[in-house]
């Protein structure tokens, strides 16, 4: 088992969630791939999008699969101008590679916001630390486990 997957499992357990990561037969790097693998709607997929502030701090936005982050709105929530986080920085701070960034289990926690669109579903699916593992849970459970705040940051 990869260290990334083990961290997600540990975070799920620490949060008291009964969710178990599932290995998919194909990659789930994109929201579309994950939705097809899970057999769910695109918006039931949680995209973990990281931006870096002028301060160097990373900020995590948990976005419904069909939505896009509006950088101006995200910057307003973060309280500083945001830009694209470098791949190496994402890996160093979260411990996850792009395409498998989970919403929980990061090496270094960062401020997190959740797209209210995700709250419309009974079940949502998120990356579990690898490009082939995802887990399902209720949106409220992920909100609590991730320490996220609901925020309006999509276009």
Question: 95: which 2 tokens?
Answer: 């411990």
pLDDT recorded at residue 132: 94
Distances (CA, A) of 68 to 18, 47, 73, 125: 29, 9, 11, 17
Bridging pattern class, strands 112-114 and 82-84: unpaired
pLDDT-derived band at 99 (thresholds 50, 70, 90) equals confident
pLDDT recorded at residue 1: 82
Whether 42 has a pLDDT exceeding 90, the answer reads yes
Topology adopted by domain 3-150: YbaK protein (3.90.960)
Query: Tell me: the pLDDT tens digits for 20-41?
Result: 999 999 999 999 999 999 999 9
Whether 145 has a pLDDT exceeding 90, the answer reads yes
Task: Answer for the pair 108, 93: CB distance below 8 angstroms, yes or no.
Answer: yes
Task: Answer for the pair 155, 68: CB distance below 8 angstroms, yes or no.
Answer: yes
CA angle 28, 31, 35 (to 5 degrees): 75
Burial class (CB in 10 A: 0-12, 13-18, 19+), 117: middle
CA–CA separation, 61 vs 69, rounded Å? 8
Whether 98 has a pLDDT exceeding 90, the answer reads no
pLDDT recorded at residue 52: 98
Overall average pLDDT of the 3-28 stretch: 94
CA–CA separation, 73 vs 146, rounded Å? 20
pLDDT-derived band at 104 (thresholds 50, 70, 90) equals very high
Query: Tell me: the pLDDT tens digits for 105-118?
Result: 999 999 999 999 99
């Amino acid at each position: 088992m990869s260290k990334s997957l083990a961290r997600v499992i540990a975070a799920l357990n620490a949060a008291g969630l009964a969710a178990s990561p599932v290995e998919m037969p194909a990659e789930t790097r994109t929201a579309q791939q994950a939705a097809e693998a899970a057999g769910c709607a695109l918006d039931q997929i949680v995209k973990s999008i990281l931006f870096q502030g002028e301060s160097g701090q990373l900020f995590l936005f948990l976005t419904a699969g069909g939505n896009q982050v509006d950088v101006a709105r995200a910057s307003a929530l973060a309280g500083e101008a945001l830009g694209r986080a470098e791949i190496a920085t994402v890996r160093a701070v979260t411990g996850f590679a792009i395409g498998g960034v989970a919403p929980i289990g990061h090496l270094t926690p960062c401020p997190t916001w959740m797209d209210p669109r995700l709250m419309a579903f009974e079940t949502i699916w998120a990356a579990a630390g690898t490009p082939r593992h995802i887990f399902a849970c209720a949106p409220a459970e992920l909100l609590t486990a991730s320490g996220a705040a609901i925020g309006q940051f999509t276009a």
